């Protein structure tokens, strides 16, 4: 973590909770260049800020945990959609690498992007990996990028899973946004190894008339043959939540669950044309504060 990020983290971490609304307003202004209306949010990005402050259901912390969410997925849609688990550990030094296969992926369960791909165990720099996980496990992701407060309740651990695609380690990621029981957007992430491309589609795979800050892959990706099954699974996992993004991978026709996200992008998507921030936000109906379970 560089000095700028470290200072930003400390500022967020030691902000008194009663100042969170003002802190989020200031953070949003820096990130998005505009004021946020927390009392009557209308755009998608504004609604993500409202959710941070008001969506306090412990269940969203459990389902944001990359380890604990596995039991929920098993119960809702079946164990066959889970990436095979090789182990879960409280510290790096607990891992017995002799018992692991030649390839795998290591993840911190309580944040985003804290992963190490290991296509060849013999080539793994264990000292570097140990330093990274020591830092990640000590870091509260809630205060890394805009007060995503539900991550604070997650007990930090290391999850080790099978590497599900050794031929192409940079998997296509299908992110399905479900608002109030309806699929409103499918985000397709590709080419992460060369700069990431993001294509957006509606539920019928029609290209969305907007972008959110990344270049599109040209030509547009075709829908996978099992997209209808992905949508069915996303709706099952989203049942009971007024909004969630459900991610899947598709490897040689087999669907794997990725994660569930309740504050997508932390509300910093750069909509182009900008009016689509409001139009996309209109698709999500926020509950009254007292109606959130």
DSSP string, 183-198: EEEEEEEE-GGGT-EE
Sign of CA dihedral 11, 14, 15, 20: positive
**Local structure of 160: helix, strand or coil:** strand
**Taking the complete model, does pTM exceed 0.75, yes or no?**
yes
Give, for 234, the enclosing helix (H) or strand (E): helix 227-238
Domains in the chain: boundaries: 168-261
Query: Could you tell me how far CA 67 lies from the centroid of its own chain?
Result: 14
How far is residue 109's CA from residue 276's CA, in Å, rounded to a whole number? 32
5-9, 104-108, 219-223: lowest mean pLDDT where?
A: 5-9
- Residues 213 and 239: beta-carbon distance below 8 Å: no
DSSP string, 24-59: HHHHHHHHHSS---SSS--SHHHHHHHHHHH---HH
The pLDDT score that the predictor gives to residue 292 is: 54
Contacts with 256 (C-beta within 8 Å, 6 or more apart), sequence order: 81, 82, 83, 164, 248, 249, 250
The pLDDT of residue 118 is 94
Look-up of token digits 């008001």: 54
The radius of gyration of the chain's CA atoms, rounded to the nearest angstrom, is 19
pLDDT of residue 176: 98
What is the pLDDT at residue 4? 83
pLDDT of residue 289: 67
- The DSSP line for 195-229 is T-EEEEE-TT-PBPS-B-SSPPPSSPPPPPTTHHH
pLDDT of residue 250: 93
262: three-class secondary structure by DSSP: coil
pLDDT digits (tens, 9 = 90+) for 218-240: 899 999 999 999 999 999 999 99
Of residues 201 and 4, more confidence is placed in 201
The helix, strand and coil proportions of the chain, stated in percent and rounded to the nearest 5, come to 40, 20, 40
pLDDT digits (tens, 9 = 90+) for 10-54: 888 999 999 999 999 999 999 999 999 999 999 999 999 999 999
What's the mean pLDDT in 191-211?
A: 90
pLDDT at 262: 98
Topology annotation, domain 168-261: D-amino Acid Aminotransferase; Chain A, domain 1 (3.30.470)
Q: Would you say residue 1 has pLDDT above 70? A: no
Does an H or E element contain 105, and which? strand 104-108
Per-residue model confidence (pLDDT) at position 159: 98
pLDDT at site 169:
54
How confident is the model over 56-76, as pLDDT tens digits?
899 999 999 999 999 999 999
pLDDT confidence of residue 5: 82
pLDDT of residue 104: 95
If pLDDT is split at 50, 70 and 90, which confidence band does 193 have? low
Phi-psi region of 281 (alpha: psi -120 to 50; beta: other; left: phi over 0): alpha
The reported pLDDT for the residue numbered 196 is 86
CA distance 129 to 116: 8
């Amino acid at each position: 973590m560089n000095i700028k990020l470290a200072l930003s983290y400390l500022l967020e971490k030691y902000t008194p909770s009663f100042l969170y609304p003002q802190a989020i307003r200031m953070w949003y202004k820096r990130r998005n260049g505009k004021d946020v209306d927390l009392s009557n949010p209308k755009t998608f990005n504004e609604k993500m800020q409202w959710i941070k402050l008001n969506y306090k259901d412990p269940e969203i912390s459990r389902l944001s945990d990359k380890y604990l969410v596995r039991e929920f997925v098993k119960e809702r849609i079946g164990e066959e959609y889970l990436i095979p688990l090789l182990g879960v550990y409280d510290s790096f030094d607990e891992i017995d690498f002799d018992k692991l296969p030649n390839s795998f992926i290591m993840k911190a369960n309580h944040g985003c992007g804290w992963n190490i791909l290991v296509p060849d165990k013999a080539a793994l720099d264990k000292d570097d990996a140990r330093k990274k996980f020591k830092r990640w496990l000590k870091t509260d992701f809630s205060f890394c990028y805009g007060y995503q407060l539900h991550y604070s309740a997650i007990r930090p651990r290391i999850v080790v899973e099978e590497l599900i695609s050794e031929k192409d380690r940079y998997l296509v990621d299908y992110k399905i946004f479900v608002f109030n029981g309806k699929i409103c957007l499918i985000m397709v992430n590709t080419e992460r190894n060369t700069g990431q491309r993001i294509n957006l589609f509606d539920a019928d795979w029609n290209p969305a008339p907007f972008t959110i800050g990344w270049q599109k892959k040209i030509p547009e990706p075709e829908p996978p043959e099992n997209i209808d099954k992905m949508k069915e699974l996303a709706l099952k996992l989203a049942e009971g939540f007024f909004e969630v993004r459900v991610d899947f991978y598709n490897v040689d026709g087999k669907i794997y669950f990725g994660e569930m996200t309740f504050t997508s992008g932390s509300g910093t998507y750069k909509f182009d044309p900008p009016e689509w921030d409001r139009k996309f936000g209109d698709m999500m109906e926020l509950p009254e504060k007292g109606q959130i379970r």
